[in-house]
Amino acid sequence: MKTTYYFSTISWLLSMTVLFTLHSCNKYLDREPLSNVTPQEYLNTEADLAAYTVGRYAFPSHSGWGLGTFANDNGTDNQVTSSYSTRWVPGEWRVPSSGGEWDFAQIRQLNYFLEQVLPKWKSGKLTGNSANITHYVGEAYFLRAYEYFNKVQALGDFPIVKNTLKDNMEELTATSIRQPRNMVVRFILSDLDSAITLLNDVAPDGKNRISKKAALLFKSRVGLFEGSWLKYHKGTAFVPGGTGWPGAKSHPNFSINIDNEINYFLEQSMTAAAQVADAVELVGNTKDDGYNSSSNPYFKMFGDENLNGYSEVLLWRSYSMPLGITHAVNHYMNRNGEILDIQEALWKILR
């Protein structure tokens, strides 16, 4: 009897020891990663917001190798190169099997930021300089508008996604429906209005970050682009409601007063542009006709290494050898980078 009692006691003690060990082990293993940032620990401070938004900057600028932004118009009806483009050869411009603009990565990153930050911001849970925090929220709205404008320019009609989506087929299918381009641009202008309200006149890092005036200038460009597009493509398949418009199947009850839309976008453009023009002083131009051009402030602006002192420059990228932020545009332009706009090319041919 005693043997049985001792055996039962020992078994109970061993079982409890094993359970305690497993519990302790699970408790030890159930820890936040030490080498990675977790959602709970991020986007809580001014520094977090500053780093996240600047990481989403994807503006066209010179970087790495090649001609940078000078080559953006290569192969179009604006600019030719020393070799012809197959884009204009019948049957040679094909839809690629991969890549393209149908991508939502940047949009999701910015939707995630706004979902995480807005509740904390409104409840006062973010730490840091309140003016800078507000500015970075404005940057997120600007960057989302900028990404959507890229999509409209490339694809026209496009889905409007305002939040992160779950892996749910029904939700994803409903959200993936392309919305009429004019509605997408109205959404862009709404985001830009939010950005303009929140952004500082002078960004925390100066002209290397987005500012209120930069957002106003971009808003004027968006309005001018869409108003002009609707005006000159009115009635065609490239405009919502036009003959052969692909969106008619998804939006059978769609209607639009195209002239009102044109006026709306152009008025938005003019109003935003006027605010910038009234606030920004032009850089002086001495018009020296090529003699001693280095003394002309306007001429010097286009080759200066530091653009902070020029009132007309609202946003620029600062290059730095120590930081490894460089480009090779000068090398390519001087070596083999001949590019011609169409007018210059015709002048060379006909002279």
Angle formed at CA 111 by CA 106 and CA 117, multiple of 5 degrees: 125
Q: Give dist(CA 216, CA 145) in Å, integer.
A: 12
- As to burial, measured by CB atoms within 10 angstroms (0-12 exposed, 13-18 middle, 19+ buried), residue 48 is buried
pLDDT tens per residue, the chain (351 residues)?
545 555 566 665 566 665 566 565 555 556 666 666 677 779 999 999 999 999 999 888 887 777 778 777 777 777 777 777 777 788 888 877 888 889 999 999 999 999 999 999 999 999 999 999 999 999 999 999 999 999 999 999 999 999 999 999 999 999 999 999 999 999 999 999 999 999 999 999 999 999 999 999 999 999 999 999 999 999 999 999 999 999 999 999 999 999 999 999 999 999 999 999 999 999 998 876 656 667 888 888 988 889 999 999 999 999 888 888 888 887 777 776 556 565 555 555 544
Cα–Cα distance, 208 to 196 (Å, whole number)? 17
Q: Identify the residue whose tokens are 């055996």.
A: 7
CA distances from residue 28 to 14, 44, 231, 237, 258 in whole angstroms, order as listed = 21, 26, 65, 62, 64
Q: Domain extents for the chain?
A: 282-350
